[in-house]
Amino acid sequence: MSATASRLLADAVLALHVGFAAFVILGLAAVLIGGLRGWRWVRNPWLRAIHLAAILLVVAEAWGGVACPLTTLETALRDHAGDATYDGTFMAHWLRRLLYHDLPPSVFVVAYTIFAAAVAASWWLVRPRAFRTAR
């Protein structure tokens, strides 16, 4: 694979990573606001289950000390492209600044755990509809 292709794939992985983080963070805001505003779609049980599973995956990685597979893949692609720094392309630079912060891992473990508790609490604050069973 060429360096350009690796760099483009790394940018795509980074965009996916930011999208995942946005889904987790903005999803909770949407559920809480939607619950107050009467938005029916925020009570979709599949959306809520996927949202809860997403943050629980992040918490499990944090508690287990496991690097996010998306971060690992992006780093490998950038290494393959020969990117010596984390600057990359314009898109990569700004998306990375939104996503990555230089803090001790324990800060993330606590933050993710608290956020997961808030997502779980949203199941009681804004109850999803029941899952439909096949007839």
**Coil/strand/helix, residue 131:** coil
Here the tokens at position 60 are: 């499990």
- Give the domain extent around 56: 3-125
* Domain assignment of residue 130, yes or no: no
Is 49 inside any structural domain?
A: yes
C-alpha dihedral sign at 7, 19, 104, 92: positive
Q: What is the pLDDT of residue 85?
A: 46
70, part of any domain: yes
What is the torsion angle, in degrees rounded to the nearest 10, for the CA atoms of residue 101, residue 9, residue 73 and residue 24?
A: 50
Backbone angles phi, psi at 127, to 5 degrees: -65, 130
Q: What would the pLDDT profile of 84-131 be if each residue is shown by its tens digit? A: 545 555 556 666 776 677 778 888 889 899 999 999 999 999 999 988
For the segment 9-39, what is each residue's pLDDT rounded down to a tens digit?
Answer: 998 998 999 899 999 999 999 999 999 999 9
pTM as predicted: 0.80
The tally of domains found in the chain comes to 1
Asked if the structure places residue 131 within a domain, the reply is no
Whether 121 is covered by a domain: the verdict is: yes
Determine the residue type at 84. A
**What are residue 35's phi and psi, to 5 degrees?**
-65, -40
